[in-house]
Structure 1
């Protein structure tokens, strides 16, 4: 039975959007009898009717003699927010209307401003204009002694976020590449290399083997370019399991093996993985063997780990021996006797760790 090691997944995408509404309006304040407004006094003004743009009330002021803060010989025009307890962000153009074109004087640059009715300096915008610039060319701004002030206001509404919605998705099935590779393993007519293992033959594909193992790569695509390979010192069942992993990235079912036989198969697979430099398979076998340690097999597994440079499994075995309350039972096993004879330095590590644990 094929178990898929990985699958193709797609992200579920949702979308929300931030958008800002705006509302634009304009108002013209006509000052009839402009010349008659002279002499009103500094700080005195005339005001337009209140007009509404974007849900807010506004007005235009005109100071014929300027304000106490403005230089002499200046007039002042003012855009004022009239709504109470209001704060609003705007983009606006503001100035005198040219008689010839009906446009606002280009002398006044469009402005972006946040108005607030909470303070006098934030509820108004003022422009100071030299009086001579108006009166020197009466035909430009004055007609029949009428001066027109125009405000074009764009009010920015609060930004809003639309409801999160999911975009339609096309369901993508899981990756089936491993199923195709498993079928390729059984496609003998497409094989290009034959292995002889313990009297049995196995057919495979050079490219797949070379892709998975640098050792197979050197064997099959090196100077000798083998097409018939004899594998020594390996059981047919182990080589078959090795091929299964190469093509499917998973271990075959070992339901027909029980207990020690299954552990023995994993030991042989670990040796095969080390032989063919297949690090992932080697780690998988280490993990399985480390989870199935007992008094009878820990010494044998430790010797195997030391022989094949399995440092992670070696640490697990030493930890098991050092923390075991059945040390005498471990010493009594044949595996321990073999370990003592072949790898005495490993036992030194185990006893030193046990000694440190006891002192702690």
Structure 2
């Protein structure tokens, strides 16, 4: 008797992620957890399933407050997910005092500054520009908000001076 069973090895994908991937392909929907969202996001990138990438990125963005936002920005840049990067940057802008002394945030700012230097352009630092934009475009218009905003902008400028990047 001949055994006609074949085994297909897919590499770095768990059975759970593969099941979710197949579910999404057939139904355009799948259940996600924070852990599975990242696994599935990476697989969607590998298999070039852009709609699944966006699906996972939206899920991650909805749970941004439970995650390492700096890592999310890096991942969003790596996988070309500008909406997720924007969501993460807005989260930092809205919670700047939690991040202004964060070593990982400092490394991100320095990394962005080095990219500008490597390109030998007169650009400004991407993450800083985005933060200033989100701080200035807030829909809150009160004296208290104005004072908080000014304090946040000063904190950003002080950070740049501390990191040797000017203001």
**TM-score bucket of the superposed structures, by smaller chain:** 0.5 to 0.7
Rounded Cα–Cα distance in structure 1 between residues aligned with 2:64 and 2:113: 17
Tell whether 2:120 aligns with 1:350.
Answer: no
- Name the residue aligned to 1:137: none
Alpha-carbon displacement from aligned partner over 1:199-227 (angstroms, at most 9, x marks no partner): xxxxxxxxxxxxxxxxxxxxxxxxxxxxx
- Name the residue aligned to 1:266: 37
Deviation at 1:352, TM superposition (A): 2.5
Deviation at 1:328, TM superposition (A): 3.3
Alpha-carbon displacement from aligned partner over 1:97-116 (angstroms, at most 9, x marks no partner): xxxxxxxxxxxxxxxxxxxx
> How high is the TM-score relative to the length of structure 2?
0.59
Deviation at 1:317, TM superposition (A): 1.0
Deviation at 1:330, TM superposition (A): 7.6
- Name the residue aligned to 2:24: 245
> How high is the TM-score relative to the length of structure 1?
0.30
- Name the residue aligned to 2:46: 275
Preserved contact between residue 92 and residue 99 of structure 2 (Cα < 8 Å): no
| Distance verdict in 2 for CA 1:345–1:249, change over 3 Å | same
Name which of 95, 100, 109 aligns with 1:324: 95
Deviation at 1:269, TM superposition (A): 0.9
Preserved contact between residue 244 and residue 251 of structure 1 (Cα < 8 Å): yes
Whose radius of gyration is greater, 1 or 2?
A: 1
* Paired residues for 1:163-312 under 5 Å: 228-252=7-31, 262-294=33-65, 296-312=67-83
Helix, strand or coil: the match of 2:9?
strand
- Name the residue aligned to 1:122: none
> Which has more strand, going by share of residues?
1
Q: Which structure 1 residue ranges, 4+ long, deviate > 4 Å from structure 2?
A: none
Preserved contact between residue 293 and residue 317 of structure 1 (Cα < 8 Å): yes
- Name the residue aligned to 1:53: none
| Distance verdict in 2 for CA 1:323–1:247, change over 3 Å | same
Alpha-carbon displacement from aligned partner over 1:113-167 (angstroms, at most 9, x marks no partner): xxxxxxxxxxxxxxxxxxxxxxxxxxxxxxxxxxxxxxxxxxxxxxxxxxxxxxx
The number of residues matched between the two structures is 123
Rounded Cα–Cα distance in structure 1 between residues aligned with 2:107 and 2:73: 11
